[in-house]
Structure 1
Amino acid sequence: MWISIVVQAVAGLGLFLFGMQLMSDGLQKVAGNKLKRSIEVLTSNRFIALLVGTVVTMIIQSSSATSVMVVGFVNAGIMELTQAFGVILGANIGTTITGQMVSLDVSKWAPFAIAIGLLMRGLKKSVRVGNMSDIFIGFGILFMGMDYLKNGLEPLGKLPEFQTMIIQNAERPLFGILIGLVMTVALQSSSATIGVLIALASQGLIPFTAAVHVIYGDNIGTCTTALISSIGTTPKARRVAMIHLLFNLLGTLVFLAFLNPLVVPMIEHWTPNNVPRQIANIHTIFNIINVAIFFPFGNWFIKAVNFLVPDKKNAELILDDNTRTLDDRILASPSIALHRVIVAIQELADEAGLAVESAIKACQLRDKNYVQETFDHEQRINALERRIVEFLVKLSQESLSEDDSALIDELFQMVADIERIGDHSENIAEYVDANIDAGVELAPESVDDLNQVFKKVKEGYHLMSESLVDGDVNKAQLAMETENDVDDLKAIVRQRHIERMNKGLATPMSGIFVMDLLSNLERISDHYRNICESILEMEGDIQVS
């Protein structure tokens, strides 16, 4: 009997978790940029942060995933602790939606939901319809899993030892809390723990008074994911995980010490003889009441975690800035992770722009300090490029919409083009360095000609860089026009220098130097033209401000 119970219960739980994940993926894809913008609108206003935390967690169906993302945001320096406090509290409310949903006896509609989803997928006329189909299919599979789970656990009621254990421990709060904590840590999902409790309750296998304490433990156990995720992060990021733990611990103490005698009878009165609904309701009310109690004391919480997780000398310098900007914890929400990649690519383009400027100054001023500056910029470009590519590879393995997958392909190409601009800037610096050592001098006319090319390349790169930040396609088109100008200037300057060499006004060594410079300047303009083409292709997708 035990083998049959375990196999069916595990199968049901697996379907439940798979359905929840599929539904979450569909919701995230449908939300898309709206989910990204919901994070962007965060200000120091904790009420907005609370609302965003609630909505985002309803979408991704996991308070643990939200808290891990927030750890990543704070670690990357894109969110402050005051904002994080509101989001974490909102996540605790948002996660209760799953329990409310599965407590409803709508399993008979599960096949219809799956059928609708499959029909939408078969007749898919747009990406959005395809994403909506995942929501319906996930919803259906989730409730099919609940049915399997309920049926699998039903035989437990016939086992005297199970009944004895429940009766003996129904009034032992610490035992129930421990069970809830262990279950949630093991399943890595507070919603799964609630699902198991509701399945047990639907078969009359657990009384409400026993389930209450398991739910308290479930709320504490869900904090472990963020705590583990915060290992190796900055002190600020670790404080986020500590806020989550402190909130749920204090909330449990408040209910055990004061509110249980009031809240539990009230919920039993609201939904008599319906333990599954009572379980969902205590989970929701536990979190709403605790938010109402502790939300006004946000500053106290922040002071408390600052004391518990003190700053360490130079702690912020331990982590590489690039690693922090693209924190793997943000991958839990692909649309937000994609937004952070675009920000990192803009930083990469800025660094490449500085490399171009330094290389040109090295040539104009014949100054080895600018040569070294160019080399330094190139090293930073390579480091950031490697991190972006690594992050994009991981992101491409997540569940993505078709639009986001296409966008990632464009971003890979864009990163490659920016990295090549850094390489060509380094080439120019190396040529300048070698020619300074060799004592090669250029005629004033050649210097004037090259300055025209330098000016046009800088103009085009500046337009491209601005377009990359604000998404202005007009600037991208203007930058592409400068690439044609650079090609024309290259031909003119090359011909003039050849004429000067034929007249003996320039040396062969200077000729090689000028040709190498022109070749690399042209390649820089080719690559920023490629980037502009990508910007036009991604119109509306790259703007982050």
Structure 2
Amino acid sequence: MDLFSILTLIGGLALFLYGMNAMGDGLAKVSGGKLEKILENLTSNPIKAVLLGAGVTAVIQSSSATTVMVVGFVNSGIMKLSQAVGVIMGANIGTTITSWILSLTGIQSDNFIIQMFKPTSFSPVLAIIGVIFILFINDSKKKDIGSIFIGFAILMYGMDMMSSAVKPLAEVPEFTNLLLKFSNPLLGVIAGALLTAVIQSSSASVGILQALCLTGAVPFSAAIPIIMGQNIGTCITAILSAIGAKKNAKRAAAVHLYFNLIGTVIFMTVFYLINAVVGFSFFHQVATPAGIAVIHSVFNVTATIILLPFAKGLEKLACLTIRDKKEDVVVSAEDREFMILEPRFLEKPAFAVEQSRNAARKMAEESHNALFTAL
């Protein structure tokens, strides 16, 4: 692998991450804060909370953004910690949609219709439509849709560049041997967690793994632990967001971490025990982008099904980790009304604007009441 291949790989990764970010921002703008508003109001039922968390994350394409929003909701008192648990679990399921979209890159067929389902085939068309929307149409909604299309096209171009750059590595024995080392469950989990913690996006790190799979050098035995680690690594965003927040917000970030840690331990223990007894035929086969998407989805859905009945237990574990102190300040009802101006909501500007409107409306009501009381 020469210098130019390395530059192509880095450039492809940069475009991939930028495209994912641009697409997520465009989707959030199109939703106009409505999704987050629904999330805020409809989380009393645990199953409904999971479905809402999954739906919102699937649309805005970022479990990290959803979890940061949840930390903000809990910090401002809008959402209780018990409501946040289900949303966090759902966010982990919703983020798997990206891996399914990226898995379409592995489509191989001479049939024209099937070929058109390959993202590299239809993303140039989306890019052209996106450019027309942005440059020639004044409607802001259309411009946001254009930025989604452009973001998707850039993301897929970056994915294609990465795949092309790493393809020659399949012939390098050192690279193949390095990947085989990740077949050790502990090493694989650590590698996946570190990669995701650095780029702060499990969707992006799963996409990178899918690009590596196209070399034909990544077996499922190495891919599975790496995916488990990626789910743990994505918790870093919520943990960083919770620094300086109130106790309950820190607990929401802790719930996210515990959910992924406990889910990983249970899933890997059961999986490797069954593999030792039965011996999965696919275990040493070459991983495919579609296979990665299946494992990513199966893990998150299974972990949610197992741990949702123990949501109260996760909540108690977070409370035991982050304990209340006697000197903790009790916030008055009046102050809580204006805590909706939580800085973490700036992660999604459309929702932040909506919260600002709500605060201004509340201030107008307070002023109105004060004036009539004075009169």
- On whether the aligned pair clears a TM of 0.5, the verdict is yes
One-letter code of the match for 1:3?
L
CA shift at 1:357, angstroms? 5.3
Give distance in 1, aligned partners of 2:37 and 2:207: 31
Structure 1, unaligned runs of 5 or more: 361-453, 455-545
Q: 2:110 is matched with which residue?
A: none
Deviations 1:410-465 (A, max 9, x none): xxxxxxxxxxxxxxxxxxxxxxxxxxxxxxxxxxxxxxxxxxxx5xxxxxxxxxxx
Which amino acid letter does the alignment assign opposite residue 116 of structure 1? Answer: I
Counterpart of 1:141 in structure 2 is: 154
Q: 1:120 to 1:287 in 2, by over 3 A?
A: same
1:421-500 alignment, distance < 5 Å? none
Corresponding residue of 1:457 = none
Q: Which runs of 5+ in 2 are unaligned?
A: 106-117
Matching of residue 124 in structure 1 with residue 137 in structure 2: yes
Larger deviation, residues 209-218 vs 33-42: 33-42
Partner of 1:69: 69
* Cα pair 2:193 2:231 within 8 Å, conserved: yes
Q: Is 1:342 paired with 2:352?
A: no
2:112 matches 1:99: no
Match of 2:198 in 1: 186
Q: Give the structure 1 partner of residue 347 of structure 2.
A: 332
**How far does the alpha carbon of each residue in 1:358-406 deviate from its partner, in whole angstroms, 9 at most, with x for none?**
7x4xxxxxxxxxxxxxxxxxxxxxxxxxxxxxxxxxxxxxxxxxxxxxx
Deviation per CA, 1:61-80: give whole Å up to 9, x if none. 11111111101100000001
SS at match of 2:266: helix
1:114 aligns with 2:127: yes
Letter in 2 for 1:9: L
2:243, 2:357 → 1: CA distance?
Answer: 26
Q: 1:322 to 1:118 in 2, by over 3 A?
A: same
Aligned residues: 357
Alpha carbons of structure 1 residues 322 and 6: separation in structure 2 relative to 1, 3 Å: farther
The residue that corresponds to 1:230 in the other structure is 242
State how far apart, in whole Å, the 1-side matches of 2:287 and 2:190 are: 25
Return the match for 2:222 from 203, 206, 210.
210
> Sequence identity of aligned pairs in percent?
41
CA RMSD of aligned residues (A): 2.5
Tell me how far apart the structure 1 counterparts of residues 56 and 321 of structure 2 sit (CA, whole Å): 28
Going from structure 1 to structure 2, the CA distance change for 1:312 and 1:346 (only over 3 Å counts) comes to: farther
Cα 1:279–1:331 shift into 2, 3 Å:
same
CA contact (8 A) 2:58 2:94 kept: yes
Structure 2 counterparts to residues 406-425 of structure 1, below 5 A = none
SS of the aligned residue for 1:129 comes to: helix
Q: How many angstroms does 1:104 deviate by?
A: 0.9
**Counterpart Cα distance in 1 of 2:363 and 2:302:** 46
- 2:313 and 2:195 map into 1 onto residues whose CA distance is 31
Larger-gyration structure (1/2): 1
Tell me, yes or no, if structure 1 residue 251 matches structure 2 residue 283.
Answer: no
Q: Is the 8 A contact 2:338 2:359 kept in 1?
A: no
Q: Contact conserved, 1:216 with 1:252, CA < 8 A, in 2? A: yes
8 Å contact kept, 1:267–1:282: no
- For the 8 Å contact 1:93–1:287, the answer to whether it is kept is yes
Q: 1:139 to 1:347 in 2, by over 3 A?
A: same
Does 2:56 match 1:56? yes
Q: CA offsets per residue over residues 142-177 of structure 1, 9 Å max, x none? A: 11010111112223223332122223x143111111
Amino acid in the other structure paired with 1:178: I
Is this contact kept in 1: 2:220–2:287, CA < 8 A? Answer: no
- Alpha-carbon distance between aligned partners in 2 of 1:180 and 1:71, rounded to the nearest angstrom: 24
Q: Which runs of 4+ in 1 moved over 3 A?
A: 120-123, 260-269, 316-324, 350-358
Deviation per residue, 1:76-131 (Å, 9 max, x gap):
00001121011000000001111111111222322122112223334426333222
Q: Secondary structure at the match of 1:199?
A: helix
Alignment of 1:265-276 (within 5 A): 268=282, 275-276=288-289
Distance in 2 (alpha carbons) for counterparts of 1:87 and 1:183:
25
TM-score by length of 2: 0.87
Q: 1:215 to 1:265 in 2, by over 3 A?
A: farther
Partner of 2:16: 16
Counterparts of 2:149 and 2:8, CA distance in 1: 24
Deviates more, 1:81-90 or 1:2-11: 2-11
The offset of 1:323, in angstroms, is 7.7
The offset of 1:321, in angstroms, is 5.1
Seen in structure 2, the aligned counterparts of structure 1 residues 268 and 333 have a Cα distance that, compared at 3 Å, is: farther
* Residue 294, structure 1, aligned to residue 307, structure 2: yes
Inter-partner Cα distance in structure 1 for 2:362 and 2:129 = 44
Question: Do the aligned partners of residues 152 and 323 (structure 1) sit closer, same or farther apart at CA in structure 2, a change above 3 Å counting?
Answer: farther
Larger RCO (CA under 8 A, 6+ residues apart)? 2
The structure-2 alpha-carbon separation of the partners of 1:223 and 1:316, relative to structure 1 and needing over 3 Å to count, comes to farther
What are the residue-to-residue correspondences of 1:502-541 with 2, within 5 Å?
Answer: none
Separation of aligned partners in 2, 1:95 and 1:260: 25
